[in-house]
Amino acid sequence: MSGAPWYFDCDTGIDDALTLGLLVAEGADLKGIGSVSGNLSAAGGARNTLDLMALMGRPDVPVAVGAHDPIGGVFGGGAEFVHGANGIGEVELPHVGEPVAESAAAMLVRLAHEHPGTLRVLAVGPLTNLALALELEPELPSLVADVVIMGGAALVPGNVSAVAEANIWNDPIAAQAVFDAAWPVTMVGLDVTMLARFEESHRTELAAGGAAPAALAAMLDVYFQYYTPILGRPSCALHDPLAAAIALGVVVPTLAPVAPVEVDTTDGPGRGQTLVDLRGRFVGYPAQPDVRHTVPLEIAEGFGDRLLESLLRLP
């Protein structure tokens, strides 16, 4: 568990919902949560986040609606085929609470000023809110301890194109701004998140837990339907939960080189590709003192078991 204050940015989303569960179960000190359009609209993501946090016993955490459109573009409509029409696998939760009045970007800037040097940022959707916060407060990188994102792919294929991962593809300009800023960024990409899995046995055990675990298990029906043909058996990838686990120190990658990352911001076939300079690979990735990007490439097996153990602690 990390005692640091956290700002969490998400597009809630089934794997985002599992991540909220992990953060709550691990006792992360969540100071605020921002939503962003991605899996569904930013407004819909905030609704899901509020309802899930109430179900998990944390209705006190403020939730801010973030950017609807990507930088310089228009929101394309979400990923209903992955997460269902309401983003959480058609599971209907009681509506509890309302978002706060400030935007997600303003919330991030405010929290950074309230917790200078200690605020940790975990972002598991498109990076629009972080880019807008950098515009609002150019000193933001010096106020934030570090940024962990779920996004990108270094040595493996993309998931929305041959080369691009969804969060980066949805707002490549914002992603480039986040990698350009002078803060440490850990890019938890498809290299490791496609290795982190929930199997049918995990879902069955989760369904037998309390109200929150059972609701999460019900959402997984839709997510498993999407992933079963991709992975070859009933199961799913645990993208966002793995990013949170790495941020919290619950999972320590077995290989995570420091390597510069650039994003393809064109509208061509490379749109959204993360170009990770791994040329140090054959000499053991020598230290690069001026580089601020870390890219996990390998993890040990067993994250699904660890996530299940945490989620079953929820009410």
Q: Which residues are catalytic?
A: 11, 239
- CB closer to Ca ion out of 16 and 137: 16
Q: Give 283's contacts (C-beta < 8 A, 6+ positions apart).
A: none
100 vs 263: CA distance, rounded Å: 32
- CB closer to Ca ion out of 79 and 154: 79
> Least distance to ligand RIB from the beta carbon of 59, Å?
23
56, 65, 123, 124: residue in contact with ligand RIB (rule CB under 6 A): 124
Does the protein bind ligand RIB through residue 171 (CB under 6 A)?
Answer: no
Does the protein bind ligand RIB through residue 46 (CB under 6 A)?
Answer: no
Binding site for Ca ion (CB under 5 A): 11, 13, 16, 124-125, 240
Residues 236-265 binding ligand RIB (CB under 6 A) are 239-240
Does the protein bind ligand RIB through residue 150 (CB under 6 A)?
Answer: yes
Number of alpha carbons in the 13 Å side-chain half-sphere of residue 232: 1
**Residue 45 interacting partner from Ca ion, ligand RIB, none (CB closer than 5 to 8 Å by kind):** none
15, 171, 205, 264: residue in contact with ligand RIB (rule CB under 6 A): 15
Q: Are 245 and 303 in contact (CB under 8 A)?
A: yes
- CB closer to ligand RIB out of 35 and 167: 167
**Residue 274 interacting partner from ligand RIB, Ca ion, none (CB closer than 5 to 8 Å by kind):** none
213 vs 219: CA distance, rounded Å: 10
Phi, psi of 290 (to 5 degrees): -90, 0
- Distances in Å between the Cα of 74 and the Cα atoms of 117, 126, 170, 200 are 34, 13, 10, 37
Beta bridge mates, 170: none
- By residue count, the chain amounts to 315
Q: Are 169 and 76 in contact (CB under 8 A)?
A: no
Q: Which residues bind ligand RIB (CB under 6 A)?
A: 11, 13, 15-16, 38-39, 124-125, 150, 159, 165-167, 239-240
